[in-house]
């Protein structure tokens, strides 16, 4: 039986640290501020945004949720991003994705001040991560949270094989960059990858982010591997499940994340951590 990586508990510990950092900032009269922009009425997005807002408020972070109609124009949305860019009480700006059709997500993300880009999606920050530049900059929260989870396992990653299934800008690509920066040998798989099972069986660390329910079966996993399931999928009964067949995988893996209670809570906790990072960096108060 694999170790079940308790994302909920690791997220709780991270949130406790974040709360302490917020309290220290408060003594200096500083309140970290997060602005979340949500366009249209996608129900899943609405739930995530509400969860983020609740968590921020709980930790003492100022949270502004800006709900906008799907009919908003590109120019109007850019204008709103600009107001937060110039608002000194806001340290992190997040535009919930996906945006309704007709809006150019890349152009919106590029308009965010890179120093306030709490999702780490701005091309400047993506480039810094890919180049493994030193210094302070935000990165995508889901893979950063996964690196935090991997850190709790006290396993050496250097020189080992990583396979990342999925190549999105939010998960797969930044995840591969972070694992490479941790000196792993990284392969990225996607829909055109041939013999996926043969590839995943080579992975000491397997990260799956496809949105395909139970794409990865038990025998696709190397014995003893660390398996990270990013998927937030629905099974045939409408229940939340992952991209990995957990019940089969748990007998093969060395460690595995559950869904729910794995990567999801870490994403939100990392978003809070990174909001406080951005606040501290902007105040030049050092970092962690």
Ligand X SMILES: NC(=O)C1=CN([C@@H]2O[C@H](COP(=O)(O)OP(=O)(O)OC[C@H]3O[C@@H](n4cnc5c(N)ncnc54)[C@H](OP(=O)(O)O)[C@@H]3O)[C@@H](O)[C@H]2O)C=CC1
Ligand Y SMILES: Nc1nc(=O)c2c([nH]1)NC[C@@H]1CN(c3ccc(C(=O)N[C@@H](CCC(=O)O)C(=O)O)cc3)C=[N+]21
Q: Is 106 a catalytic residue?
A: no
DSSP string, 152-203: HTT---TT-EEEEE---TTTHHHHHHHHHHTT-EEEEE-TT-SSHHHHHTT-
Residue 216 contacts which entry, ligand X, ligand Y, none (Cβ below 5-8 A, type-dependent): none
Tokens of 273: 């951590």
Residue 189 binds ligand X (CB under 6 A): yes
> Using the rule CB under 6 A, which residue among 114, 261, 281, 282 binds ligand Y?
261
> Using the rule CB under 6 A, which residue among 59, 259, 276, 279 binds ligand Y?
259
Taking the complex as a whole, how short is the minimal distance between the CB of residue 4 and ligand Y, in angstroms? Answer: 13
Tokens of 24: 């220290």
Which range in 75-83, 100-108, 259-267, 276-284 contacts ligand X by CB under 6 A? Answer: 259-267
Q: Of residues 55, 116, 117, 119, which has the active-site annotation?
A: 119
- Tell me the C-alpha distance between 125 and 90, whole Å: 18
Residue 119 contacts which entry, ligand X, ligand Y, none (Cβ below 5-8 A, type-dependent): ligand Y
Residue 286 Cα distances to 25, 270, 278, angstroms: 12, 18, 10
Residue 260 contacts which entry, ligand X, ligand Y, none (Cβ below 5-8 A, type-dependent): ligand Y
> Using the rule CB under 6 A, which residue among 12, 156, 190, 234 binds ligand X?
190
Taking the complex as a whole, how short is the minimal distance between the CB of residue 47 and ligand X, in angstroms? Answer: 12
Three-state SS for 256?
strand
- Tell me the C-alpha distance between 126 and 130, whole Å: 6
DSSP string, 8-56: HHHHHHHHHHHHHHHHHHHHTT---EEEEEEES--HHHHHHHHHHHHHH
- Tell me the C-alpha distance between 97 and 105, whole Å: 8
Q: Is 52 a catalytic residue?
A: yes
Residue 94 contacts which entry, ligand X, ligand Y, none (Cβ below 5-8 A, type-dependent): ligand Y
- Tell me the C-alpha distance between 257 and 9, whole Å: 12
Residue 167 assigned to a binding site: yes
Q: Is 119 a catalytic residue?
A: yes
Query: Site residues (CB under 6 A) for ligand Y?
Result: 48, 51, 94-97, 119, 141, 232, 240, 259-261, 264-265, 267-268
The residue ranges that bind ligand X (CB under 6 A) are: 142, 165-168, 170-172, 189-193, 196, 209-212, 215, 230-233, 263-264, 267
Residues belonging to the active site: 52, 96, 119
Which residues contribute to the annotated binding site?
Answer: 166-168
């Amino acid at each position: 039986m694999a170790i079940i990586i308790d994302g909920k508990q690791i997220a709780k510990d991270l949130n406790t640290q974040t709360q302490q950092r917020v309290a220290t900032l408060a003594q200096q009269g500083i309140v970290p501020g997060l602005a979340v922009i949500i366009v249209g009425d996608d129900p899943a997005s609405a739930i995530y945004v509400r969860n983020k807002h609740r968590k921020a408020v709980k930790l003492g972070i100022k949270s502004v949720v800006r709900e906008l109609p799907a009919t908003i124009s590109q120019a109007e949305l850019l204008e709103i991003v600009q107001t937060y860019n110039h608002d000194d009480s806001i340290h992190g700006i997040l535009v919930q994705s996906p945006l309704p059709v007709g809006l150019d997500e890349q152009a919106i993300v590029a308009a965010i001040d890179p120093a306030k880009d709490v999702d780490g999606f701005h091309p400047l920050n993506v480039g810094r991560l890919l180049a493994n530049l030193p210094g302070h900059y935000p990165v995508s929260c889901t893979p950063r949270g996964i690196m935090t989870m991997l850190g709790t396992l006290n396993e050496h990653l250097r020189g080992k094989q990583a396979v990342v299934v999925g190549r999105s800008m939010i998960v797969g690509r930044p995840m591969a960059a972070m694992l490479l920066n941790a000196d792993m040998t990284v392969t990225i798989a996607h829909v055109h990858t041939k013999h996926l099972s043969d590839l995943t069986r080579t992975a000491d660390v397997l990260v799956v982010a496809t949105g395909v329910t139970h794409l990865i079966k038990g025998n696709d996993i190397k014995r003893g591997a660390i398996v990270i399931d990013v998927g937030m999928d629905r099974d045939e009964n409408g229940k939340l499940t992952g991209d990995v067949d957990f019940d089969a995988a748990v007998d093969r893996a060395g460690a595995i994340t559950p869904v729910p209670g794995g990567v999801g809570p870490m994403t939100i906790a990392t978003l809070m951590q990174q909001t406080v990072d951005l606040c501290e960096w902007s105040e030049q108060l050092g970092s962690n």
